[in-house]
Amino acid sequence: MAAEESTSTTKSTSKLSGPVLFLLLGIGIGYLITQVFLWPIINLSSRTSRTLNITSKRDVDLYEEVRVLCFVYTKSSQNHLQAMGVFRTWGKRCNKLVFMSDKEDTEMGAVNLPGNGKRIETWRKTKQALKYIYDYHLGEADWFLEADTGTYVIMENLRQMLYPYSSSTPIYFGSPGVVMSRAALRRFVELSLPNTTLCEPKDTGATMGKLRECLNNVKVMAGGSRDPKGRRRMYLIDPQARLNAYLRYDPNYWFWQYISYRTQEGTFAWSNYPVTFHYVQARNMFYFEYMIYRLRAFGPKRINEFLPDKIVEAKENRNYGREMIR
């Protein structure tokens, strides 16, 4: 009797082991197929990541979308000091970099600009430089940045500031570091510069006031360079300047007389996304390079960054100038 029960149990177990074995074998084969063939092509973009968010606008590289030609004034005596500071730091992030010097320099690629060494003729230098860029490089960029070797530019922030605007819109921003659209450069050279009633023909004198007048006379807009919180992004001084004269409002001090509008006081009024700093010594440009592009604090510090919306160009801006050129 016991033998019959044992035989019956053995037969029952053998009947069950077949389906179970095939089930386990099917699960194993399915797992292998998933790992080898399907898993690599599954879209993982919806998964959260601590290091990369591929759907965020902050990962967009504006280098090709907002093309900037930088032309920098220098002197032959500075070519291997201040000029090399620009050449080896922020200048390499321009789409094209052109040095304007009082002597031609093949190593730096500096263009000879007669009279560039004379401080009294800064206006002449500006007119010659803009005419040269118009004649030889107009089609190579959308925006044109004028700077000197004492200026440090954070090119990524400059492109972010310019992103909403079309290069066909006649507009400029500054200073220090005046940047103008292609349309603005065309109006200056084609309409304003040849007309002595629109643009100062004398060569001597400071540049900014005369350049602003020449641009305004042909309806080139002065763009606002402040950030969304109303803070300046283009600075006449570098961050190391700690004199109270720069941080506290004083109507008798040159700094506050020069800027177009009074801003907030103190270091916390400085933008988180500055574009330019001025009076930066060559050695400090390398400090900036390290502090901005290499220094990191350990741990996740994700912040939300968004590009501003595009601005639609007014129709009258597109038509103005074409009629005058005819």
Backbone phi and psi for residue 95, each to the nearest 5 degrees, phi listed first: -65, -30
Give Cα 294 distance to the centre of its chain: 17
Q: State the pTM of this model.
A: 0.74
Pairing of the two strands 178-181 and 276-277: unpaired
pLDDT in tens, the chain (326 residues): 444 444 444 444 455 456 666 666 666 666 555 444 443 333 333 323 222 233 344 456 899 999 999 999 988 766 578 888 999 999 999 999 999 988 877 777 788 876 555 555 688 889 999 999 999 999 999 999 999 999 999 999 999 999 999 999 999 997 778 999 999 999 999 999 999 999 989 887 778 789 999 999 999 999 988 888 888 888 766 666 544 555 566 666 555 555 555 555 555 577 889 999 888 988 889 999 999 999 988 887 667 777 888 987 665 565 555 444 33
Backbone phi and psi for residue 254, each to the nearest 5 degrees, phi listed first: -60, -35
